[in-house]
Chain A
Amino acid sequence: MDYKMILTPEEEAILNGAKGETMAKVIKTLILYGDTFGAKRFVKVTAPGHVVTSFGISVLSPVFNITQELIDAGLKTEMPFTVDPRPIDYPNVKCNPIEKLIFSKILYGKQEMYEKQLRELGLKDKNAFTCTCYLDEVGNTPKKGDILSWAESSAVVYANSVIGARCNRNSGIIELFGMILGKVPEFDLLTDEGRKAKWIIEVKTTKKPEAQVLGSAIGLKVMEDVPYIKGLDKFIGTELDDKTKSYLKDMGAATASNGAVGLYHVENLTPEAVEMGDKIINEDAQVYVIDDAELERVKASYPVMWKDPNGKPDRCFIGCPHLTYAQIHEWAERFDAELKKQGKSKVGMTTIITTAPDVLQKFKQNDGAVYNKLIAMGINLTSICPLMYMNNPLCGKKNVLTNSNKLRTYTTSRYYTDDEICAIAVKGGI
């Protein structure tokens, strides 16, 4: 094969079959991928991986054929990896018998088989299923400067921006190949040049912007470019504490899904912006001013995808990406206050909060009283992926509400802000 990347003798030997035919195909794929984007060499992956494909959906049989081929060839990731959330959780996200039958037997009929494959490939543990693998409770938290092989868009943008690790916006399977080889081609967000901002975002709102709408506005404008956000530290501070990191998690997920942002810098806050200041901005960077009117315009532009736009909502999902420990507490307080305000003791519709298994476990153990209170309010806590739950013909027809701009973008769900969705969930209607 012709290639432009400069390979070490060891890499060349792998390409020529020194570690078997399957490993040769793995490195060939990554070389072609690197060549396409002008990578000159491979660099070592320095922290554990995270796999985006968590669902044993039957249509992905060709993907499971690749994973089986890797296993049969005796290949495994160099470090234990985490994976995106599971698609179903019957005890906490109720399904009718027909849905259950179709989910278990047809749609996600390969879930058990696929999870076995993941374990054989190097899955961290049974709690490794979350999109927020970087949270302290989960433990797959890279350090600044680490080179990663991840694909989950919300995790990639968080690791790059909030932690200062380095990861490209990879596709599923490619990330697994990088973990197995232990190396990734060096291009774009893995380079100093690729991390420079091409946009300056000037936040000129009168109050703290809703993270999900701000991220959406930025993503829709800059698409895959790197933005440098000015004026946000005025509202969220200059310390990366739990509350600020939660805000950045949600904002980043919206930039990555409404656009294709893999890295953003926030002035006086995120590591590379603090370290380099304006030097990390390209000289010819474009400017996008975001004020109250612009956020209103963006929010009003979201289409209502329900079959009957005036229909009654069936359920609401809170937590895509999965909520942090601090955010579960915030939601418990928010629901408590809204229930008192509306003179009710329970929410008026099926309300589901999602968080990582390790976070949920900690919450149950350390905050049993708050957990029981949420359950008494009629709120379900689960660790599924709302996106996977909805991304099928059965659930796609339901009238779902969400506070997630990512879930809104990829499904027929309808977006409301945190306060709006809390009031609707308690009332039981819009």
Chain B
Amino acid sequence: MSKEFKGRPVIAGECTVEAVVSHGGFNTLASFQKSALARKKETIVSDQNNADLFGKNITGKGLCLPKTIGSTTGGMVIYTATALNIQPRAMLFSEPIDSLAAAGVILADVWTDDTITTVDNLGQEFLDYVKDGMTLQVKKDGTVIVD
């Protein structure tokens, strides 16, 4: 059975992606650092403090999260990951997007040929409902259908 959630499109777009879920704040630098430094073709999350995501591949996935945390290099790191083509396909926030993540997805949108479809304000119920491996259909108007 599918369930529909409505958020605000920050970077509007449409995609169908597999969910990976972080229930706690996503530390951008700590998560991308190891894969980016090693020039890997995919991001295997290296943040040891994130039990939900540590060791998981987030490239091309629908990253579901409350918000990002950590260093103010965060936005730059999201942009860099996109330029290196190891970014998530979508970032889906249960809370209002934070300034660092917003900077990152906007920089990626304006300064690369790629984009991270981004929706915020999806609500806590979204984060409680969505599980790793579920299929997410993201619509331009910020609707996310979880299968």
* B57 in the interface (beta carbon within 8 A): no
Task: Give the interface size bracket for A toward B.
Answer: 35 or more
* A145 in the interface (beta carbon within 8 A): no
- Tally the A-B contacts, defined by beta carbons under 8 Å: 93
Determine if A171 and B99 form an interchain contact, defined as CB atoms under 8 angstroms apart.
Answer: yes
Residues of A within 8 A of B97 (CB): 36
* A405 in the interface (beta carbon within 8 A): no
Determine if A410 and B72 form an interchain contact, defined as CB atoms under 8 angstroms apart.
Answer: no
Residues of B within 8 A of A153 (CB): 71-72
With A36-B97, A260-B69 as given contacts, are A172 and B106 in contact (CB-CB < 8 Å)?
A: no
CB distance from B78 to the nearest CB of A (A): 8
A32 to B118, CA, bound (A): 13
Kindly identify which residue among B37, B49, B106 contacts A392, using a CB–CB cutoff of 8 Å.
Answer: B37
Determine if B80 and A170 form an interchain contact, defined as CB atoms under 8 angstroms apart.
Answer: no
Stretch from A58-66, A133-141, A241-249, A263-271 forming part of the interface with B: A58-66
A 59-97 to B, binary, CB cutoff 8 A, 1 in contact else 0: 111110110000000000000000000000000000000
Residues of B within 8 A of A393 (CB): 34, 37
A29 to B11, CA, bound (A): 12
* A205 in the interface (beta carbon within 8 A): no
* A305 in the interface (beta carbon within 8 A): yes
Residues of B within 8 A of A166 (CB): none
* A33 in the interface (beta carbon within 8 A): yes
CB distance from A186 to the nearest CB of B (A): 13
B 97-112 to A, binary, CB cutoff 8 A, 1 in contact else 0: 1111011101101111
Determine if B103 and A170 form an interchain contact, defined as CB atoms under 8 angstroms apart.
Answer: yes
CB distance from B72 to the nearest CB of A (A): 5
Within 8 A of B (CB), among A256-280: 257, 260
Within 8 A of A (CB), among B45-76: 48-49, 69-76
Q: A53-B73, A169-B72, A170-B103 are in contact. List 12 more A-B contacts (CB 8 A).
A: A29-B110, A29-B111, A33-B99, A36-B97, A62-B79, A62-B80, A169-B100, A171-B72, A172-B75, A188-B99, A305-B48, A391-B33
B residues whose Cβ falls under 8 Å from a Cβ of A: 10, 29-30, 33-34, 36-37, 39, 48-49, 69-76, 79-80, 83-84, 97-100, 102-104, 106-107, 109-112
Minimum-distance CB pairs A-B, first 6: A171-B75, A62-B83, A171-B103, A172-B76, A32-B106, A174-B103
A residues whose Cβ falls under 8 Å from a Cβ of B: 25, 28-29, 32-33, 36-37, 52-53, 59-63, 65-66, 151-153, 156, 168-174, 188, 224, 257, 260, 303, 305, 391-393, 410
